[in-house]
Chains A and B, each alone.
Chain A
Amino acid sequence: MGFLQTVWTIARKDLVIEARSRELAYTTLFFAVSVVLVFSFSFVVEGVALTDAASGILWVAIAFSGTLALGRTFERERQADTLKALLLSPVERPAIYLGKLAGVLLLMLVVEAVVAPVVGLLFQAPIGRAPLLLVGLLMAGTLGFAAVGTLFAAMLIRAQSRDVLLPVLLYPITVPLVIAGVRGTAAILAVEPNLAVAQAWLSMLVFFDAVFVTLALWVFGPVMGE
């Protein structure tokens, strides 16, 4: 089986499980929308959202719901000890990592496809202003977040107090991604949009992605035990 085929097989396994139970999609989505609602109480003053609040709330919802999805994805693998079976199977470690990453990434993107319009609707944010750029920012930011998250969630699978440790480790390290995502999105959604600034943040996100994915691929093998 080729490398890419292995990646796809592992990702498809997760997606089939998810398509049958829809547990993660429903819970994560509901959670993300609740987060948006809770933040709206703080950042909507007299019916008008504060400057740049929409982009901040969007990314906070993504980060929070992503953490939830990551934790649950690997909790599934832990309960039936299936991650061990995956690691014992004769496939390369990077292929396992990329397969899990693809599954998490797709799920998070589905959630974002719903949450971004909800934020646009509730905060009067013009999300249709530069759709390709916004999609680019969301995809690049999510890729970086999921890349670090998949690595950490996988390595914490055998650790104690993994539920609290995942966000504790994940948020400080993904801060550059969140800053770039929030500032880039804010540049698009602002009253006076600045698309050149958004593009600069997008290229920075792509750079972060390259660094984080490369590092994670190298680290995944030793961390999961050879």
Chain B
Amino acid sequence: MPSRSKLIPGLLAVAAVMFAAAPFLIDAAPYEASMGLIQRIFYYHVPSAIVMFLSAFVCGIASAVYMAKRSPGADATAVSAAELVVVFGLIVLVTGPIWARKAWGVWWQWDARLTSALVLWLIFVSYMMLRRFAGAGSEMLAAAVGVFGMANVPFVYWSVNVWRTIHPNTNVVKSLSPEMRLPFAWCAVAFLILYVALLLTRLRLERSQMALEAAYAEIED
């Protein structure tokens, strides 16, 4: 597919330009009064978290589709999305404590949202372990974990409102000053484009692997 092969480098180029421009936009935004420089990690932390949750949903829906229809494409999508949950989750879990050190004075708090983000990340790490170590037929088992992982996401997202918490409220994005909104939106879009590009790349790899395995099977027959 020539269109697909041009799409991925195109997306990557757009993401690269946007990420290169992001520091200038963030620099132009005003300093937050109490947090100063460290507040700026927010422009990377929150978009990564958005992409992490989005990817968890992509994995869960693809897993459910695979379970219902058994299409190899859905399974490839699920495994690609699960890997990206782990990657972007790592960014969230590294940038979060750096911010927390300044804001709360500690690296980690057993706050509801932190805990649940960590739990979500662990679910998808266990998903990857299952695929890696369970041997033949692990696709269907992994799909079950993907579905349960997605079912846990609402518990994660609404936990902030159910449990008492010290994490900034979900309304913080709405309360941003207009000068901060532009770099935030810019970074969010950049992360989304990067996510789509990575997902498509990973899917292409998965498809190639499937084709390779099919070719091997054909030779052996």
Contact = CB atoms under 8 A, between A and B. Distances in A.
B147 A219 contact: yes
A159 B135 contact: yes
Contacts of B148: 148, 173, 212, 215, 219
Interface string B108-151: 00000001000100110010011001110110110111011101
B157 to A, nearest CB: 13
A158 to B, nearest CB: 6
B126 A223 contact: no
B130 A165 contact: yes
Given A151-B144, A155-B141, A223-B144, A161 B68 contact: no
Contacts of A161: 133-135
Contacts of B95: none
Closest A-B pairs by Cβ, 5 of them: A159-B134, A160-B135, A172-B122, A172-B123, A222-B67
Interface string B4-36: 000000000000000000000000000000000
Contact of A172 (B126, B137, B141): B126
What band does the interface of chain A fall in when counting residues whose beta carbon is under 8 Å from B? 20 to 34
Mostly, the B contact residues are helix
A169 interface: yes
A168 B147 contact: no
Contacts of A225: 140
Interface of A: 148, 151-152, 155-156, 158-162, 164-165, 168-169, 172-173, 175-176, 208, 211-212, 215, 219, 222-223, 225
B93 to A, nearest CB: 14
A219 B134 contact: no
B137 A169 contact: no
Nearest to B127: A169
Given A159-B141, A211-B151, A223-B141, A165 B119 contact: no
A223 B68 CA distance: 10
A156 B140 CA distance: 11
